[in-house]
Structure 1
Amino acid sequence: MSTDPGSAESAESVESRMAALYERDLTCRQLGIALDEVGSGRAVMRMRVGTDMVNGHGIAHGGYLFLLGDAAFSYACNSHGPVTLAQAAQVTFLAPVEPGDELVAEAVERVRSGRQGVYDVTVRDAVTGKVVAEFRGQSVTLASRPATG
């Protein structure tokens, strides 16, 4: 995992916080979704589509593409520090994905205003570079940590 050297916050601090978040992210870890890069307002994640991730048509289930985009969005919007969650999200599927394909999702912050943020995520085939999905997420930063259990 590498960080954006141009960020105002120390790269070590962002990387350390995101590594701790990833350690608690059982879904990403169990599905083999790797956090490749993280910086202020941006993240890159990678996933190989398994044969157990296909739908009845034999192509990747859209839910997994959404999940990959959502994960990259999550790390990008949480890179600033306070707990930030998705408020809304939308995905547009552009091309089918086959089992065995490796995907890369790159999330980029478009705007933050107060507690709100907008992030775009492009999901590409890692080998061909072909865009297979576009994801847009709207975030909200919480005033305090959400209650658990």
Structure 2
Amino acid sequence: MTDMTREASGDGRASRAMMERDRAAAMLGLVVERDAPGHAVVSMRVREDMTNGFHITHGGLVFALADTAFAIACNEDDRVTVAAGADISFLKPTVVGQTLTATAMRRSRTGRSGIYDVTVVDELGDPVAEFRGRSRTTSRTL
């Protein structure tokens, strides 16, 4: 396992294997704080190269953070689960030096479909974004 994962509980095999190969998450410096079935916490320190032309964190990178927490939470067993869709609402801008934390929680999982909510907060705990992901479990296994 890479140094990206700090704590793992439950099965988590699929998400841990997925994160070991996730080059985008590694490039962004994402840190997996918690990896449990239906629940994940991932953090990211905002760097200069993560800002847009207004000197605030690029929304696509906030989305990437939330999407990664979602992916970990929904890959609960050895069946590969992917995003079927997602929406995000940006609530507060952030800047270089801040640490963002995304917490994903399963809301429902029925058959091959799931719904997961992700809240992104800054280091003060203030909400930065709210993300809702819809998952689809495939027939593939790890």
Tell whether the structures are fold-level matches, with TM greater than 0.5. yes
Structure 2: runs of 5+ lacking an equivalent: 1-5
1:25 aligned partner: 22
Other structure's SS at 1:143 match: strand
Does 2:45 match 1:48? Answer: yes
1:140 corresponds to: 136
User: How far 1:21 sits from its partner (Å)?
Assistant: 1.7
Please report how far the alpha carbon of residue 143 of structure 1 lies from its aligned counterpart in structure 2 after TM superposition. Answer: 1.5
Percent same amino acid at aligned positions? 43
Aligned-residue RMSD, C-alpha: 1.6
User: How many residues end up aligned between the 2 structures?
Assistant: 137
Which among 104, 111, 116 is matched to residue 119 of structure 1?
Answer: 116
Cα distance in 1 for partners of 2:81, 2:17 equals 15
Q: Distance in 1 between matches of 2:18 and 2:81?
A: 12
Post-superposition CA distance 1:34-89 (Å, at most 9, x none): 11101111100010111011111110010000000000000000123310000000
Structure 1 unmatched ranges of 5 or more: 5-10
Asked if the contact 2:14/2:80 (under 8 Å) is kept, the reply is no
Question: Does 1:130 find its partner at 2:126?
Answer: yes
Which one has the bigger strand percentage? 2
Provide the C-alpha distance between the structure 1 equivalents of 2:37 and 2:140, rounded to a whole number of angstroms: 21
**Counterpart in the other structure of 2:77:** 80
Match of 1:8? none
Contact 2:106-2:115 at 8 Å conserved across structures: yes
The answer to whether the Cα contact below 8 Å between 2:70 and 2:133 also exists between their aligned partners in 1 is yes
Preserved contact between residue 114 and residue 135 of structure 2 (Cα < 8 Å): yes
Alpha-carbon distance between aligned partners in 1 of 2:74 and 2:119, rounded to the nearest angstrom: 15
TM-score, with structure 1 as normaliser: 0.86
Give the distance between the partners of 1:144 and 1:81, measured in 2 at CA: 9
Q: CA deviation at 1:130?
A: 0.3
Verify the 8 A CA contact 1:41 1:80 in the aligned structure 2: no
